[in-house]
Amino acid sequence: MKSAFSLLKNPLFLALDVDDFLVAKKFVKETADLVGGFKIGPRLVFRYGTDVIKEISQSAPVFLDFKFYDIPSTMDSSIRSAFECGASFATIHCLAGGDALKKLFETEKELSSKRPFSLLGVTLLTSYSRKTLPPNFVDQPIEEQVMSLTGLANDCGIRGIVCSPQELKLLKSKYPGDHFVTPGIRLESDAKDDQSRTATPQEALSWGASALVIGRSVLNAKNPREYLLGLLNDISKFNLSQK
């Protein structure tokens, strides 16, 4: 399989969590040379259609974050559509269960034989804490639930996982060959907003992250390029310290 992670020139995804395509395109133009890829969600696609994906994918790999969670056939069709629109990464919910994940792994193999493409299994949203989990969830620590869902994904062949930074150490020790994508990335000076389980870029990378998702800290910065350059400088220092 051709992993989409091979397309990333650095481990940063900029989340284009905005409502205006012109604003999104401005950020793409200003930062495409600095980030590994762009994360796009429903906010833009529902307003402007799939041309958003096609256009942005011309500048950098697109991580389509719709967190597909449905019956297996519907999830399969959705992933194929995401691929056809130009996405290199697409999220699926591990909670969809083994039948769906096995089917989607076969789809991933088929699609990635045409061009690099990777599925990312979502475990638990970073906005959750143990106190705010839905009432039907098992009453056990967040880490155990994330580990269980990651184990299910691995059993079905899925090797790309979305998790919070707080679970990285445990997951990396258990599944060292997986790619872990971590939202909830904040600098120490940043506000956490609605994220409950966060970490700095250096912490996440040291714990085993393959890629980092950062959004509001960049989008709200007075100078997004300057912010990203500082972030990349910190990451490069971390990489040098590991050699």
**Contact in structure between 192 and 129 (CB atoms under 8 Å):** no
Exposure b/e, 206-239, CB count within 10 A at least 16 = b: bbbbbbbbbbebbbeeeebeebbeebbeebeebe
Return the structure tokens found at 182.
Answer: 């971590």
Determine whether 153 is exposed, middle or buried from the number of CB atoms within 10 Å of its CB (0-12, 13-18, 19+).
buried
In terms of Cα–Cα distance, which of 201, 209, 199, 198 is closest to 235? 201
Return the structure tokens found at 169.
Answer: 């150490």
Catalytic, out of 2, 67, 109, 114: 67
* Residues with Cβ within 8 Å of residue 211, at least 6 apart in sequence: 5, 8, 11, 12, 13, 36, 37, 179, 180, 181, 182
Check if 174 is active-site.
no
- Active-site residues, by number, are 67
